[in-house]
Structure 1
């Protein structure tokens, strides 16, 4: 019974559409009302909120919901700009700054590898290493997504770290 009463009230409110009037006041303001007054002008709403759409001239897409849409794969390029290939770095403290960039831009977790071992994971592609032994070293960087998927990896970069020796003091 409640559902029948609710449907009746809904039908009554939806089907009623009264006349609308436009009244221009003495101060120039415009008022719209459903009560006709002496200088009220009826407003024609028959063409309001209607649009005629042109017929579709193109091809109807053939994909359906169940078909998988292939994603275009973006190829990222991760480049180490510092140190340069086979650069000799002279630093008695064994410190090294590694700078890399990726094109096109991507975000993820950058992993720095030194001599095949992962040393640092961070969001930035700029690294600072401390206490590196002297000699030849190989660095590389991998950028992985939050889920662990590899986005890009750099080529191996060889560099040499030189430290002054205590044994070669001039007399």
Structure 2
């Protein structure tokens, strides 16, 4: 009986150590730039890679405080004073290179907890509002010039007050030169 119990205890201890070590190992992300200047991320270290902390500067939390409003007929519902909204840009990812000759791409935004009725989402491209604020968290950007850009998403009230804002997201838009060169 002892011989059957001992191997099962060893197996149990081995499996428990794998379960405990697995999540810790998976939390380490490495970042490096290749010889072409492209940024890479991996869970395995390579030469010249640095440990990347994805939790740093990826969220912006804002506490909103308003008085209690009991009038349900008001045009603009007000957020609960104790809720801190988190606005995040889901895509494109940080330092993503978007390739589109027309300069078109999409951006997806997430808000937690769910935004109160009557609030809107405003996308800010390079420090300027892009289009109109909207209720949909999906934005289709059109005819954006090539180069480096910054995106910020804001949760705003209908009066335009910013309730919460995402951190800035840096992206690169690549457009291949499709115009033929004219020789004199």
User: Structure 1 length normalisation: TM-score?
Assistant: 0.54
Counterparts of 1:148 and 1:125 in 2: how far apart (Å)? 17
4+ long deviations beyond 4 Å: none
Q: Which residue of structure 1 lines up, in the alignment, with residue 87 of structure 2?
A: 78
Deviation at residue 145 of structure 1 after TM alignment? 1.5
Deviation by residue 1:7-52 (Cα, 9 ceiling, x = unmatched): xxxxxxxxxxxxxxxxxxxxxxxxxxxxxxxxxxxxxxxxxxxxxx
State the secondary structure of the residue aligned to 1:158: strand
Counterparts of 1:114 and 1:96 in 2: how far apart (Å)? 12
Deviation at residue 101 of structure 1 after TM alignment? 0.6
Q: Which residue of structure 2 lines up, in the alignment, with residue 128 of structure 1?
A: 140
* Equivalent residue for 1:137, pick from 137, 149, 170: 149
Q: Which residue of structure 1 lines up, in the alignment, with residue 21 of structure 2?
A: none
More helix by share: 2
- CA RMSD of superposed structures (Å): 2.3
Counterparts of 1:146 and 1:166 in 2: how far apart (Å)? 42
Q: Which residue of structure 1 lines up, in the alignment, with residue 9 of structure 2?
A: none
* Equivalent residue for 1:119, pick from 118, 130, 134: 130
Q: How does 1:27-38 map to 2 (within 5 A)?
A: none
Q: Which residue of structure 2 lines up, in the alignment, with residue 147 of structure 1?
A: 159
Determine which structure has more spread, i.e. the larger CA radius of gyration: 1
Q: How does 1:22-171 map to 2 (within 5 A)?
A: 72-107=81-116, 108-120=119-131, 121-166=133-178
- How many residues are aligned here? 101
Counterparts of 2:120 and 2:89 in 1: how far apart (Å)? 16
